[in-house]
């Protein structure tokens, strides 16, 4: 049997009490922080030397690689703050599924996650090209990342290349996608062995309003000054704090209800379609193989859970039910420089 709305909330609520140990807080503005090394001060700038590159103590985004100031930059998302769909942006799915997975397992740097969700970028600023997609799990992020180019959970997962419009705003390099990425499937792995994953099956992906720090290592920054040392550098939700990084770019796209129904969330015993559309008791029907819930369908096999959908895949534009067949994705992100290896096992 699948979870009802109340039981799902109760289950996720219990998980959040544990999982939120790795989630931080911040504001939504672009740009970087002061980058000052706390060095014993009561702020949330790490003092462990492993958190910074040699000779770059206090780096505003805790970069693990030095891109230099040339025309190439390689990065990994350090934060993805979802704004839409509303249920994915809520504290349960955002914190448990997204934030905990994307945050690195580097407690000495106030990073208390799993590091199993790696969204990578390899950018040629001079040519205006960006290669982007998922990366394999690694327990040694300092050694670099490898692209995923295989089938994951039934979906083809491979990096895609997109044209950029690159500009300059003072000392900051700016970027926007020139054309959307038609399809981009990025996996969130649920274990280090990559034996299970939740896919983000995205369409018409755009990267917008990006700002890259002058040292070419940071898109956004760690909010070392805004986080509370007295709260162990964790969010103070009563103050409206939700994320640990200052975002440096925006992300948009959409997820079709049909593809979301093929994405399984094992911990919730339901499909992503059910998670995005609401109460499993209302929308779910038993999955014969996995024993959870998938979205209900009518006699013509059309998914019925689209009263929460807000996007039409046929026009790539906002629309209303019953025409809507997709969920709009909007979010903001920060990214830090990492090495992306040219060859991997």
What is the average pLDDT across 23-29?
Answer: 35
**pLDDT at 316 (0 to 100):** 97
Q: What are phi and psi of 51, to 5 degrees?
A: -85, -10
CB 123 within 8 A of CB 159: no
* b/e 256-288 (16+ beta carbons within 10 angstroms → b): bbbbbbbbbbeebbbbbbbbbbbbbeebbeebe
List the domain boundaries for the chain: 5-34+64-337
Strand partners, 211: 174
pLDDT for res 322: 86
Mean pLDDT in residue range 82-103: 90
Residue 109 in this model has a pLDDT that exceeds 80: yes
pLDDT the model gives residue 58: 59
Q: Which residue has the higher pLDDT, 261 or 23?
A: 261
User: Given this model, what pLDDT does residue 41 score?
Assistant: 60
Query: What was the pLDDT predicted at 266?
Result: 85
Q: What is the pLDDT of residue 15?
A: 37
Task: Tell me how crowded residue 300 is: count the other CB atoms within 10 A of its CB.
Answer: 5
Residue 190 — left, alpha, or beta (φ > 0 → left; ψ -120 to 50 → alpha)? alpha
d(CA 185, CA 151): 10
Average pLDDT value for the chain: 85
> Nearest-CA neighbor of 328 among 336, 338, 319, 341?
319
Q: Per-residue confidence at 98, pLDDT binned at 50, 70, 90? A: very high
The pLDDT value recorded for residue 237 is 73
Q: What is the pLDDT of residues 120-161, one digit of tens each?
A: 999 999 999 999 999 999 989 999 999 999 999 999 999 999
Please report the pLDDT score of residue 113 as a whole number: 93
For range 273-287, the mean pLDDT: 80
**pLDDT, tens only, 47-90:** 898 999 887 765 789 999 999 988 999 999 999 999 999 989 98
Is the pLDDT reported for residue 31 higher than 90? no
């Amino acid at each position: 049997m699948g979870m009802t709305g109340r039981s799902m909330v109760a289950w996720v609520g219990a998980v959040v009490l544990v999982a939120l140990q790795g989630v931080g807080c911040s504001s939504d503005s672009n740009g970087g922080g002061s980058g000052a090394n706390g060095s014993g001060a009561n702020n949330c700038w790490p003092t462990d030397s492993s958190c910074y590159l040699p000779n770059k103590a206090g780096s505003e985004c805790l970069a693990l690689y030095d891109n230099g100031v040339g025309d190439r930059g390689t990065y990994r998302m350090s934060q993805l703050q979802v704004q839409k769909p509303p249920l994915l942006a809520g504290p349960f799915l955002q914190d448990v599924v997204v934030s905990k997975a994307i945050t690195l397992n580097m407690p000495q740097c106030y990073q208390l996650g799993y590091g199993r969700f790696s969204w990578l970028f390899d950018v040629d600023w001079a040519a205006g090209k960006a290669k982007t997609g998922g990366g394999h799990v690694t327990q040694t992020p300092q050694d670099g990342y490898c692209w995923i180019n295989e089938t994951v959970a039934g979906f083809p997962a491979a990096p895609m290349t997109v044209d950029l419009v690159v500009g300059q705003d003072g000392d900051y390099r700016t970027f926007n996608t020139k054309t959307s990425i038609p399809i981009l499937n990025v996996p969130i792995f649920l274990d280090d062995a990559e034996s299970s994953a939740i896919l983000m099956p995205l369409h018409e992906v755009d990267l917008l309003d990006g700002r890259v720090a002058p040292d070419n290592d940071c898109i956004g920054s760690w909010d070392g000054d805004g986080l509370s040392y007295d709260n162990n550098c964790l969010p103070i939700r009563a103050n409206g704090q939700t994320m640990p990084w200052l975002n440096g770019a925006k992300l948009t796209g959409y997820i079709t209800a049909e593809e979301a129904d093929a994405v399984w969330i094992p911990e919730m015993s339901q499909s992503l379609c059910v998670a995005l559309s609401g109460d499993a008791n209302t929308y779910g029907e038993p999955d014969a193989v996995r024993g959870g819930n998938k979205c209900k369908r009518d006699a013509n096999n059309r998914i019925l859970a689209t009263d929460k959908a807000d996007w039409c895949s046929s026009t790539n534009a906002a629309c209303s039910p019953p025409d809507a067949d997709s969920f709009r994705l909007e979010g903001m992100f920060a990214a830090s420089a990492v090495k992306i290896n040219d060859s991997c096992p």
